[in-house]
Chains A and B, each alone.
Chain A
Amino acid sequence: MIRLESFLVLSAILFSLGVYGVLARRHAVLILMSVELMLNAASINMVAFAAYTSPERFTGVIFAIFIITVAAAEVGLALAIVLRLFRNRTTANVDEVHQLKW
């Protein structure tokens, strides 16, 4: 019997790795991948809670479905933005884009 904590710790590790990736990576697409990791961590959380606290209502599963939907939309948009960025500045590295300041 797997304990709920196991899923939660796994989710925490996955989320922290995603955060690290967002902070450390400079390539926009890699950052996007790290965001996907974070989303997955959140999904695991939801589904685990659903299975352990209210399996007959499984609201967490529904949430996970919506998360996947939104992630698909997000990736589509992000891809378009990265393309535009690359076309305008011939780079997809976020640390080379810093005009938005004084």
Chain B
Amino acid sequence: MTVTEVIFYFIAAATVLGAFGVVATGRVAYAALSLVFTLLAVAALYILLASEFLALVQVLLYAGGVAVLLLFALMLTRARELVPVLDGAQKPFAVVAGLSLMGVLISMVFLTTWPRRADEPTLINFNAIGDRLFRDFALPFEVASLVLLVALVGSIVLARIEEEEEE
């Protein structure tokens, strides 16, 4: 077992643990913190996969932006009861469904023959990513910007307190 592998298993364990915390904890705040933890662990995985840029984006956007947004949402929608029940009535079925889905997915992974690679992954430098993004994926990039614009406008329209509501 090489050092890389040890590091991978360590990170993988952290990821799963964090994810488990997100879905299993009884406190909303713990769930949010677990999510941040998981996201950071995933960023570490990206570094293992030689994608520095992605790891950077993950930390900045996800762990920074998205997680903070979710925390805001939690604060703004505080539940009425003192000790809120976070899980719904169909939890047992959800356990079965989740486990069976996991079984299906993992068995698929092992039943398929995957390509193998001898050398270590080479680092993807920033220039190459920029090159590829703006040369080959220019149109999706523009569309994505449009999606963001629409989401921005939509969020404002939805969240704004309308005038008749104030009365």
> Which residues from chain A sit less than 8 Å from chain B, CB to CB?
1-10, 12-21, 23-30, 32-34, 36-37, 40, 43-44, 47-48, 50-53, 55, 57-58, 61-62, 64-66, 68-84, 86-87, 90-95
A-B contact count (CB 8 A): 246
Q: How far is the CB of B74 from chain A (nearest CB, A)?
A: 5
5 closest Cβ pairs, A-B complex: A20-B98, A23-B94, A21-B23, A16-B102, A73-B151
Q: How far is the CB of A14 from chain B (nearest CB, A)?
A: 5
B75-131: which residues lie under 8 A (CB-CB) from chain A? 76-77, 79-80, 84-91, 93-95, 97-99, 101-102, 105-106, 109-110, 114-118, 120-122, 124, 128-129
The prevalent SS among residues of A at the interface is helix
Contact of A58 among B57, B62, B109, B124 (CB under 8 A): B124
- Using CB atoms, name the residue of chain A closest to B157: A80
Known: A47-B49, A58-B132, A65-B54. 13 other contacts (CB 8 A): A1-B2, A5-B110, A16-B105, A23-B97, A25-B23, A27-B79, A29-B70, A33-B70, A44-B42, A47-B54, A64-B54, A80-B159, A91-B80
Contact A84 B58 (CB under 8 A): no
Report the separation of the CA atoms of residues A69 and B62 in the bound assembly, to the nearest whole angstrom: 10
